Amino acid sequence: MTKLSLPENITNEKLTDLYKEMWLIRFFDEKVDEFFAKGLIHGTTHLAVGQEASASGPCAVLRDEDKITSTHRGHGHCIAKGADVNRMMAELFGRTTGYCKGKGGSMHIADVEKGNLGANGIVGGGIPLAVGSALTSSMKKLNYVTVCYFGDGATNEGSFHEALNLAAVWNLPVVFICENNQYGMSGPVKDMVKIPDIATRADSYGFPGVVVDGTDMVDLMNVSHEAVERARNGQGPTLIEAKTYRWKGHSKSDAKKYRTREEEKEWRAKDSIKRFKDVLIEAGVITEEKAEQLKQEAKKEIEDAVEFAKEGPMPSKEDLLTDVYA
């Protein structure tokens, strides 16, 4: 039996919850994919099937008062920070019972009470918001940390460099997490960035950059914990690059013709949920039977969320101009 080396707050009970949470994230995105294909959900969506660990790992080491900013591929981040999957699904169905009363859709889920400052339809849009949140914590001495999620494509945006520079200059309590899923839309990251590791960009701003296997839940928790505690103790930012992979296309209309089936097969073999299950069983945290039970519980929660969403009312014409600001 293998003893896991993890932060003190990660108990066996927490590990069990995290395994179920990873299935919640996957089943949520798979269900959304199914309903978009059937025309029951409209607009667009960006799925993160395969990226469950990079969502769950960092959030696992946060306190309730800590904050996150998310991305257009952010369902997993929201769930990992405690979002209600019923309200999330209702939002995608355009119902008034959703987080934005059905007006925001996939890319605009926020839950400030849970510390989720919001997903963002603008590439790199959440990065300066996270720095603003960290500045608030610093100036008001609130002692919370902000975790900022973004993709590899966002690291070529001006907002990335401007925000990281200010976070460094002001020594802010923020952790930047680049979910490098190998592609910015249809362009491979190796054609977009000259350096092999995006994390080395932190060197130019004077704070640590760390590369981690984005499919290894245990490593993600340990690296994230170190970065979060460093930030909380006044030692400033860290840039974590989680090398991961999105199993599906960039968005619902992407046929993935730019990558090979062999590449997909190679990354699917590194399935973060299966890897985490194997680790938990080896450590005696769960059994194979318990793992299956947790998986089925997560599946039912998502099925229940779909029913909740379908039963919710649609916005009325009178709602058209409410919550609109000039």
The reply to whether 324 falls in a domain is no
261-298 b/e (C-beta count within 10 Å ≥ 16 → b): eeeeeebeebbbbebbbebbbebebbeeeebeebbeeb
Residues 53-63: pLDDT tens digits? 999 999 999 99
From the CB of residue 10, how many other CB atoms can be counted at a distance below 10 Å? 17
The reply to whether 248 falls in a domain is yes
Residues 204-216: pLDDT tens digits? 999 999 999 999 9
The answer on pLDDT for 22 being more than 80 is yes
Give the three-state DSSP class for 229. Answer: helix
The reply to whether 319 falls in a domain is no
The reply to whether 318 falls in a domain is no
Interatomic CA distance for residues 121 and 72, integer angstroms: 5
Interatomic CA distance for residues 50 and 42, integer angstroms: 23
Interatomic CA distance for residues 106 and 147, integer angstroms: 20
Q: Find all residues with CB under 8 Å of 324, minimum gap 6, and list them.
A: none
Closest CA to 89 of 318, 304, 237, 242: 304
- Is there a contact between 83 and 55 (Cβ–Cβ < 8 Å)? no
Provide the CA 28 distance to its chain's centre, in angstroms. 13
Q: Which amino acid is at 165?
A: N
Mean pLDDT of 258-283: 96
Closest CA to 144 of 226, 60, 233: 233
- Is there a contact between 76 and 68 (Cβ–Cβ < 8 Å)? no
Mean pLDDT of 218-241: 98
- pTM, two decimals, is 0.96
The reply to whether 184 falls in a domain is yes
The reply to whether 78 falls in a domain is yes
Count: domains in the chain: 1
Q: Find all residues with CB under 8 Å of 53, minimum gap 6, and list them.
A: 22, 214, 215, 216, 217, 220, 242, 244, 272, 273, 275, 276
The reply to whether 6 falls in a domain is no
The CATH number of residue 45's host domain is: 3.40.50.970
What token pair was written down for 178?
Answer: 């680049």
The reply to whether 89 falls in a domain is yes
The neighbouring-strand residues paired with 177 are: 149, 240
Residues 106-158: pLDDT tens digits? 999 999 999 999 999 999 999 999 999 999 999 999 999 999 999 999 999 99
User: What is the maximum alpha-carbon separation in the chain?
Assistant: 61
**Can you give the residue range of the structural domain that contains 107?**
12-312
| Residue 323 confidence (pLDDT) | 87
In this structure, what are the phi and psi dihedrals at residue 224, rounded to the nearest 5 degrees? -65, -40
Closest CA to 259 of 180, 178, 150, 185: 185
DSSP 8-state symbol, 314: P
